[in-house]
Amino acid sequence: MEMENHIVDPIMPKHVAIIMDGNGRWAKQKGKIRTFGHKAGVDAVKASVSFAIKNDIAVLTLFAFSSENWNRPVEEVRVLMELFKLVLSSEVKKLHKNKVRLRVIGDISRFDAKLVDKISKAETMTANNTGLTLNIAANYGGKWDIVNAAKTMCAQVQDGKIVLDDISETLFHSYTCANDLPEVDLLIRTGGEQRISNFLLWQLAYAELYFTDVYWPDFSEEVFLQAVTNFSERQRRFGLTGEQVCS
Ligand code: FPP
């Protein structure tokens, strides 16, 4: 039974990650420049956050800018950076009001000082909120995350803070970004491509993958509902047999 994009008794994913793809093609289809698509994508971001809040999803991680996106045309990168600043300025208070805890994961040291400052203020303001954790992956790469974790861990071995035998999956996990968050249950990718594109690699180990042809600016609460409904119909076995899971 569904009510206004609110599922009454589903198996809800705790952590949903989204690769927001298709902004450029959406704009091209309309005879507009690519950045028009990114601007339209902001409304889809708002719809996805709204759906996550209404449905008590604990964590929503959005891939806003990958480490590889720096190679895009300079003007497109500039507009994306301006858009991030604009959205932070206009939305943080509303997010805070809705008890959203905002976090940015990725190497933000390459962003300009103003953006870094806005990110830091937004994170501080919302740090103690207990509702949705909204993770924005910015200048993020899954391989970067893993290498970063490995480097930190090796440094600690070198300094004698941990020994080789302490290293386990749990310990490794503790050095990755978003180490305090549940693993991703559902990954959604819009825009028709079916790949991970160096997004969360470690954290996607047991995620269910959902691909849709919908371009990101057309993503809506209805499309989110379709993805979650599809997720709730799947049997997650985590390496067990179907019989074991059902017993
Ligand atoms: C991918 O589409 C989209 C991006 C690289 C940027 C996503 C950014 C936004 C939706 C803007 C606002 C976001 C936040 C979190 C404030 P694409 O350009 O690769 O599309 P294409 O594959 O059709 O070229």
The per-residue pLDDT for range 27-37, each reduced to its tens digit, is 999 999 999 99
The CATH fold assigned to 11-141+182-246 is Undecaprenyl pyrophosphate synthetase (3.40.1180)
Report residue 58 as tokens. Answer: 């604990």
Q: E-strand spans in the chain?
A: 2-3, 6-7, 15-19, 59-66, 101-105, 133-140, 186-189, 208-211
Whether residue 199 has its Cβ less than 6 Å from ligand 1: no
Alpha-carbon dihedral of residues 184, 62, 50, 42, nearest 10 degrees?
-170
Cα(107) to ligand 1 centroid in Å equals 18
Whether residue 69 has its Cβ less than 6 Å from ligand 1: yes
State pLDDT tens for residues 61-101. Answer: 999 999 899 999 999 999 999 999 999 999 999 999 999 99
Which residue's alpha carbon is at the smallest distance from atom 3 of ligand 1? 21
**pTM for the whole structure:** 0.92
Cα(47) to ligand 1 centroid in Å equals 15
State pLDDT tens for residues 92-148. Answer: 999 999 999 999 999 999 999 999 999 999 999 999 999 999 999 999 999 999 999
Domain ranges of the chain: 11-141+182-246
